[in-house]
Amino acid sequence: MLAFLATLPDEFTIYQGIRRNEFEARSKMQQREWSDTYDAWVERPCFHYSAQDCFDAAKAKGRPINPLYLIGAARVGCFLCVLICRVHSSLRVIPAMEAGIFDHVWTTAELNT
């Protein structure tokens, strides 16, 4: 990802779905800040939201929530991302893992239904 970002000619902003109350380290972040790692601005539009605020905002806009929540996932984070490069110590088996959901490559259409 960093190699790709380095090819972008203009200043840009990276948007993250991080909420400050998820972890202590995140509570020390800012809603908008410069990242030397990305050489870009990082904006966190949901930074002051609670988890319920996020679900309510999606519902109000008619947006579906991630289907993993519907089958019991307490949170959906980086362990699903193709860019993950290490196993986070907080990971545990969730129902979606036990159900073998990750044996299936989900299409955008499936995630949006």
Q: Kindly state whether residues 36 and 1 are assigned to the same domain.
A: yes
Quick one: tokens of 20? 């400050």
Domain count of the fold of the chain: 2
pLDDT band at 103 (very low <50, low <70, confident <90, very high): low
Give helix then strand counts, H and E, for the chain. 6, 3
Q: 89 is in which domain, residue-wise?
A: 64-113
Q: Kindly state whether residues 37 and 71 are assigned to the same domain.
A: no
Q: Kindly state whether residues 80 and 59 are assigned to the same domain.
A: no
The answer, yes or no, to whether residue 86 has pLDDT greater than 50, is: no
Q: What is the pTM of this model?
A: 0.63
Q: Kindly state whether residues 72 and 59 are assigned to the same domain.
A: no
* Each residue's pLDDT tens digit, 59-75: 999 998 887 787 777 77
Q: Catalogue the long-range contacts made by 6-11 (C-beta closer than 8 Å, 24 or more residues apart).
A: 6/39, 11/40, 11/41
Q: Kindly state whether residues 6 and 59 are assigned to the same domain.
A: yes
Q: Catalogue the long-range contacts made by 91-94 (C-beta closer than 8 Å, 24 or more residues apart).
A: 94/68
